[in-house]
Chain A
Amino acid sequence: MIAIVDYGMGNIFSIRNALEKVGADVKVTSKAEELGNSDGVVIPGVGSFGDAMKQLLPFEEKIGDSIEDGIPFLGICLGMQILFEKSQESKEPGFGIIPGEVIRLPNNVLVPQMGWNEIEIKKGIDLLDGIENGDFFYFVHSYHCVPENREMIIAITEYGTEVVAVINRDNIYAVQFHPEKSGKKGLLILKNFLRSTRC
C-alpha cells in the first residue's frame, strides 16, 4: 500500500489517479500514524514552502522514521523542496533530511517555470528505467533545489540555469516536475517507484 500524505495543500486527486493507473493500492492519509504501515510514502505538493512546513509538522517524525526504516519515499515538487534545510521562500526551516537549500529561479527567465521541459540524465537509476535524455516532463515551480552533495543529482533541466529535476539517496527519491501530469513518461516513473516498494 502506498500512502499519499494529504496535508491540505492543493489537490491530491491527480497523483492518486496516476498511482492507481499504474496499479498501486493507494491510501490517502492525513494521519501521521498511518505512515508506518505503508510500503511507500508519497508527498505531493503545490503551494508555498512555509505553509507546507506548518501543515507537515505533525508528520515530521513519522516521515523521518519511515525513511530510516528504508520505506521508499517519493517527494514531488514542493514535496521535494521540503526535504531540504531551508528555502528562500520562507523563514520556516525544512525537514533538513537532505543538506542544501531551495532558491528562487533566476530573473532572466519567466517565473514560475510552467510547462514541458526536457531532462538530462546524469546518472541511471531504477526510477528512470525507460526514461531517456531529452524526454519532457511538466514543471510548475518558482523555486529550485540545490543539494550540497552533487552526487545525489540524477537528472537536471535547463531553465535560465541548471535546475535539479531528480535526486536520489538510498530510499529517498524526489522530482521537481509533476510525474502525475507528465503523460506516459510520468506514469512510467510512478510505475518504477511502485516497483521499488514491496507492493
Chain B
Amino acid sequence: MLAKRIIPCLDCDLGIPSGRVVKGIEFKQIRYAGIPWELAEKYYLDGADEIVFLDITASSDRRETMVNVIKKTSKNVFIPLTVGGGIKSIEDARSAFNSGADKVTINTAAIENPELINQIADRYGNQACVVAIDAKRRDGWFECSIYGGRKFTGIDAIEWAKEAEERGAGDILLTSMDRDGTYDGFDIELTKAVSERVRIPVIASGGCGNPGHILEVFQKTKAQAALAASIFHYGKYKIGDVKNYLKEHGIHVRL
C-alpha cells in the first residue's frame, strides 16, 4: 500500500541571487526562513517524502535562479523534487526537468492555457504534472484563484480538478486560500470535496499548524499527501516526529 506523503513546501523569493525561502500569511506578509537547498536537505534528512519549491517572486530574471536552486538541491536530496511558480510553457517545464526537477506544478498557466497540462503529461508523463489549485470559499462553492491569489476566475475548484485529471495531471495540489498561513488546520470540507471527486492523489495544503491537523486531514478526507511550510520552517516540529505521531495513530507513512 502506498504511504501517505508529507511534503514540506519552500516558498522561494528568487529576487536575490541565491534565492531564499520565505513564508507568507494569507498570501500577503512575508517572513524569511532560510536558503532553499539547505532547508531542502534538512527536510530530506528528516524524512520528507517529497519537496516542493514554489517561486513566489514576480521578477522576470528568476528562471535562471530557480534552475540553480534545483541543481544545487538535487546534488544532495534524493527524493522527488517539484517545482512551481512562473512555469508558463512547455519550455519552462523542460528547463525545470533538465535541471533535476521530477515534477512541475502549474496554476495560473494551467487555467489560462489548459492544453499545457496535456503537453507536459504527454511529454514527461502524468506523474510529472501537478496542477495547483488555490481555492477560495464562496457561498456553497469554492472558486479558483490565479496570480498568487490576486485574481479570481469564476471557475469551480471541483470541476477544474476533474478537468485537470482528464487532461493528464498526476496530482492536485489543493490550497485553501482561507486557511493558508493561519495555523487553523486544513480546510476539511474543501479537501474532502475534491479528493472524493478525482481519482488522482490530492495534496492538502493551507492552514497546517500542528501534527494533529495532518492526522485530521488523513482521517477525514481521501487526501494522499499533506503539504506544510511554517510548522517545519521555524523548527517547531520535525518531520520525523510528525510521521511517528501519524504512525501511532494508524496512518500508513514511510519511516
Contact = CB atoms under 8 A, between A and B. Distances in A.
B96 to A, nearest CB: 10
Contacts of B71: 13
A21 B78 CA distance: 10
**Interface size class, chain B:** 20 to 34
A48 to B, nearest CB: 9
B16 interface: no
A59 interface: no
A192 B5 CA distance: 27
B162 to A, nearest CB: 15
B78 A113 contact: no
A14 interface: yes
Contacts, number: 78
B219 interface: no
B125 interface: yes
Interface residues of A, number: 29
A110 B201 CA distance: 9
11 contacts: A13-B99, A14-B78, A17-B74, A18-B78, A46-B124, A47-B125, A112-B125, A115-B2, A136-B3, A136-B254, A183-B79
Given A112-B170, A114-B201, A158-B1, 12 more contacts: A10-B97, A17-B100, A21-B76, A46-B125, A110-B199, A114-B126, A115-B3, A116-B49, A117-B2, A118-B3, A140-B127, A181-B102
Q: Which 10 pairs between the two chains have the least Cβ-Cβ distance? A: A136-B254, A115-B2, A13-B100, A116-B3, A114-B127, A116-B254, A140-B127, A17-B75, A181-B80, A17-B74
Interface of B: 1-3, 5, 44, 47, 49, 71, 74-76, 78-80, 97-100, 102, 124-127, 170-171, 199-201, 224, 254
